[in-house]
Amino acid sequence: MKDKQLEDARPRSVSPTSGRPGLTNAALGAAGLAGFLAVWEAVPRLGLVEDDFFPPVSRVADALATELSDDTFWTALGDTLTGWAVGLLIAVTAGILTGVVIAVVPYLREATASTIEFLRPIPSVALIPLAVLLYGTELQSVLLLVVYASFWQILIQTLYGVQDVDPVAEETARSYGLGPWARVRHVLWPTALPYVMTGVRLAAAVALILAVTAELVIGAPGLGARIAVAQTSQAVPEMYALVVVTGVLGLLINVGARTVERRALAWHQSVRGEVAV
Amino acid sequence: MHALLEVSGLRKVYEGSGRRVEAVRDLTFTVDAGELVCLVGPSGCGKTTLLKCVAGLLNPTAGEVLLGGRPVSGPPPGMAVVFQEYGRSLFPWMRVRDNVELPLKQKKLSRSRRRELVDDALTSVGLSDAAGAYPWQLSGGMQQRVAIARALAYEPDVLLMDEPFAAVDAQTRADLEDLVRGLWRERGITILFVTHDIDEAVYLGERVLILSASPTVVQEQLKVDLPVERDQLHTRVAPRFAELRTHVYEQIQAAKRGVPLSKD
């Protein structure tokens, strides 16, 4: 009886990707994408827009193929990913540490709240002049913008997360002699983790936007700078091809972040779904 | 010779936002080693406040709690608590085994000793095959068993239970009551069991402390002279059980009205 209950209660994924509805969804998704590409191909060919500025998808695909066989494209891609990854890593580390410290040290939350609310809404792109002044077109310029934009995402989520600690869980930990550090590790951190994961996912997307923006505007090496070059040299299909690449990057980053989230939070209600016992 | 647990003159006043609530006025009682004592009182009489003070989770306004002759100023090492809200007291991010093991790691026990204690505790609550499950995969009754196993593995001098079965269904509740009785008899642990259920208090306890309505004092201490061997079917219909529960019931009704009944 007990075994049966356990068997029945295995965590189930809530995603609709299993069975028939999943298949249907995938088919619909593919059909939608095909429709989009068809419209893209048709609109310039029918002369609805000038194909010098909006080339059909087949020409963009050709340009993309040329890009992919070009070594400098891969260098640019590597530069963009480096700026993204290093910046995100710094932001995640700093955001989580700051959030936990603010939560653990008494009165720090009240003391920092107004400053955080002031600094957070400053758009990262407003710091572009500062970045140029400080670092010119070096990688550090990109990092400054990426870190500034993603840091707040992580910090705010961490702050929400550490507030969510269940008093009963906290009292349980205290009554079993868990010290402050053990409570941070075994109660506070796992409680905050779902929030932190959301923060990381949002920050990963924002970091990519800022990395590309920085390269585009400042001219730091990377995909953004390559897009700018393509634009100024009238290589319109190449420009679109590079834009498509940044879109695909964003997609992959989101899928990757969701996968990590799902793995790390298998125990969490949002992932495990409702368990019927 | 001291009692294992001594509560003397315990008083707790909550102050905050202009309101002053005296939850517990003046509580004095003792629990001897190996005793199973039930605390029963009208709802809202400060039972949970009392238990938290005893557990060292709350600082009393006045009075003191002594465990083994030593004053309790924070959660003492020799005490384990089973909370009513098992679902929130067990950590959903840990499997059953890890939940039970975590306090033992804080005690710096060796790996083999931890393993031994965890296996033993899970077996004695009948959950040895659920060690690898997550708490939320189990039914409510099973989750509370895990919480009990965690307390057992901790090998406390005193086990505090705060209305542990208030949130489970009646049948599960009867099973868990028998489990607690059984564990008490097998292991000779000292248990302070807080409940609002009069039948449960009489069925489980060797002694019942009846609390008054808030602000709380001990209304009466009652020795339960039922046989040590109890079972749900026969004990609950025994004439003596009915007498005792009627007596406790009267006391609690009197407590609600605020008039102490003279002992008959």
Burial A198-225 (b: 16+ CB within 10 A, else e): bbbbbbbbbbbbbbbbbbbbbbbbbbbb
pLDDT grade for A4, boundaries at 50, 70 and 90: very low
Residues of A in contact with B139 (CB under 8 A): 5, 277
- Number of residues assigned to chain B: 264
Residue A161 has pLDDT above 90, yes or no: yes
Cβ-defined contact of B75 to A2 (cutoff 8 Å): no
Tell me which residue has tokens 């107004």: A114
Q: CA of A51 to nearest chain B CA: how many angstroms apart?
A: 56
Cβ-defined contact of A175 to B102 (cutoff 8 Å): no
- Residue at B214: amino acid letter: S
What is the per-residue pLDDT for A18?
47
Residue A10 has pLDDT above 80, yes or no: no
Residue B146 has pLDDT above 50, yes or no: yes
pLDDT grade for A36, boundaries at 50, 70 and 90: very high
What confidence tens digit (pLDDT) does each residue in A210-245 have?
999 999 999 999 999 999 999 999 999 999 999 999
Residue B86 has pLDDT above 70, yes or no: yes
What is the per-residue pLDDT for B90?
95
CA–CA separation, B189 and B168 (whole Å)? 24
Closest CA to B99 of B72, B137, B67: B137
Q: Average pLDDT in the A237-254 region? A: 95
What is the per-residue pLDDT for A277?
54
* Backbone φ and ψ of A218, nearest 5°: -85, -30
Residues in A lying within 8 Å of B, measured between beta carbons: 2-3, 5-6, 9-11, 166, 168-169, 171-172, 174-179, 182, 186-187, 190, 193, 267-269, 272, 275, 277
pLDDT grade for A105, boundaries at 50, 70 and 90: confident
Closest residue of A to B137, CA-based? A9
What is the per-residue pLDDT for B223?
92
Nearest to B57 among A166, A174, A179 (CB): A174
pLDDT grade for A14, boundaries at 50, 70 and 90: very low
Q: Average pLDDT in the A191-198 region? A: 94
Lowest mean pLDDT among A82-91, A157-166, B9-18, B174-183: B9-18
Cβ-defined contact of A172 to B107 (cutoff 8 Å): no
What is the per-residue pLDDT for B258?
65
List, as one string, the DSSP characters of A181-203.
Answer: HHHIIIIIHHHHHHHHHHHHHHH
pLDDT grade for B263, boundaries at 50, 70 and 90: very low
Helix H or strand E encompassing B161: strand B158-162
Residue A3 has pLDDT above 50, yes or no: no
Comparing A269 with B82, the larger pLDDT belongs to: B82
Q: Tell me the C-alpha to C-alpha distance, in Å, between residue B58 and each of A134, B32, B217.
A: 53, 23, 18
Q: Domains, chain A, ranges and CATH?
A: 54-272 (1.10.3720.10)
Q: Domains, chain B, ranges and CATH?
A: 33-58+73-78+157-237+248-264 (3.40.50.300), 86-155 (no CATH)
Residue B190 in contact with residue B4, Cβ under 8 Å? yes
Two tokens, residue B75: 């959660």
Q: Average pLDDT in the A96-105 region? A: 91
What is the per-residue pLDDT for B260?
53
Residue B101 has pLDDT above 90, yes or no: yes
Work out the mean pLDDT of chain B and round it to a whole number: 89
What is the per-residue pLDDT for A15?
46
What is the per-residue pLDDT for B43?
78
Cβ-defined contact of B93 to A171 (cutoff 8 Å): no
Residues of A in contact with B138 (CB under 8 A): 5-6, 9, 277
Q: Tell me the C-alpha to C-alpha distance, in Å, between residue B28 and each of A18, A111, B69.
A: 61, 43, 15
pLDDT grade for A24, boundaries at 50, 70 and 90: confident
What is the per-residue pLDDT for B259?
58
Helix H or strand E encompassing B142: helix B140-153
Task: Establish whether the linkage from the previous residue to B215 is cis, with ω within 30° of 0.
Answer: yes
**Sign of the C-alpha dihedral computed for residues A212, A216, A222 and A227 taken in this order:** positive
CB atoms inside a 10 Å sphere around CB B185: 13
Helix, strand, coil: what percent of chain A each, to 5? 80, 0, 20
Cβ-defined contact of B137 to A169 (cutoff 8 Å): no
Highest mean pLDDT among A69-73, B249-253, B256-260: A69-73
CB pairs under 8 A between A and B: 81
What confidence tens digit (pLDDT) does each residue in B27-78 have?
999 999 999 999 998 877 788 889 999 999 999 999 999 999 899 999 998 8
Work out the mean pLDDT of chain A and round it to a whole number: 89
Residue B264 has pLDDT above 50, yes or no: no
Which ipTM value was assigned to this complex?
Answer: 0.89
What is the per-residue pLDDT for B42?
82
Burial A230-267 (b: 16+ CB within 10 A, else e): beeeebbbbbbbbebbbeebeeebeeebeeebeebbeb
**Sign of the C-alpha dihedral computed for residues A261, A262, A264 and A269 taken in this order:** positive
Closest CA to A213 of A132, A133, A158: A132
Residue A9 has pLDDT above 60, yes or no: no
What is the per-residue pLDDT for A2?
41
Q: Please state the pTM of the whole predicted model.
A: 0.83
List, as one string, the DSSP characters of B30-45.
Answer: EE-TT-EEEEE--TTS
Cβ-defined contact of A174 to B107 (cutoff 8 Å): no
What is the per-residue pLDDT for B216?
82
Residue A277 in contact with residue B133, Cβ under 8 Å? no
Closest CA to A154 of A111, A106, A93: A93
Residue A30 has pLDDT above 90, yes or no: yes
Cβ-defined contact of A177 to B138 (cutoff 8 Å): no
Residue B24 has pLDDT above 80, yes or no: yes
pLDDT grade for B15, boundaries at 50, 70 and 90: confident
